[in-house]
Structures are given as structure tokens and as C-alpha cells.
Amino acid sequence: MTQFVHVDIPASHPGVARAEAVIDRVRAARRSFDGARGLAALLLAAIVSSLLIAVDRLMSTSAEGGLLVAWVVLWGVAFVGLALFAGTARSLALGLMSVARKSASRRAAARADAKFLAYAKHDPRILRDLQVIATRQEAAQA
């Protein structure tokens, strides 16, 4: 007597599917991360703190009687500084992040070119292809 057994085996493991979903979410979060916001906050804090230090130096020379007024002025300067320099710090941070990304991509391209040329030195097929490309470019320019 012959019996057939049909077992439904899933094509993927549930744990692997969950791990892949987590990895995809982490990659998506990493792509949407903007480092300029944190840099802008640091720059803004540096600007405002230097402004507060200057005002504190001016306050320390005044008499003790006007200490409450001096603290009110100090906090006023802090909030005005935050309001005035927020846009400048944000644009400066965006510019710095742009320069950093461009330089990182240039370094990555230079590393890739150096690696390719190292392979080309040991592989005659790649070297021949490069020579053919150079010859075609010279012929096109002439």
C-alpha cells in the first residue's frame, strides 16, 4: 500500500523574515538621517554660548544691586541669539555636510580607481580593454 504525505513547508523561516524586515527598517532610517540638524544645533549652541560669555563678563563688572536685571538681560540675549542665529547655523551646517559628503564620495571614487588599476596590472584582459578604450578616445579626438 502506497501513501503520499504532503507537508507544507514554508519557503522562508519566520525569524529570518523578521530579521530582514528589521534590517530594511534600519537601512531606511539611515538613509533618511540628516546630520546637518545636529551640526546646526552644535553651531547654534557655540554661537549663543560665546554671546552669553560676553554678556556675563559685562555683568560681572556691574554692582551687585542690579543682579536680577542683569540675569533678565542675560536670558534675553540668549533667546534673541537663538532666534537670530538659527537660520545661519542651519545653512552653515548644511554647507559643511555637503562638503563632507562630496569629499567622501571623491575619496571613495579614488579608492575604487586605485583598486581597479591594481587589478588591471595583474590581469592582462583588463589592461587590453583599457588600452582599447584609450586608443578609441584618441581616435575620436583626432
Q: In terms of residue numbers, what domain contains 98?
A: 34-141
Q: Note the pLDDT tens digit of each residue in 64-122.
A: 656 666 777 777 887 887 777 888 878 888 888 899 999 999 999 999 989 988 888 88
| Residue 112, domain member (yes or no) | yes
Let me know if residue 52 belongs to a domain.
yes
Inside any domain, residue 11: no
Residue 21: inside a domain: no
Count of domains forming the chain = 1
pTM of the model: 0.44
User: Per the structure block, which three cell numbers stand in for 97?
Assistant: 555636510
* Residue 29 falls inside a structural domain: no
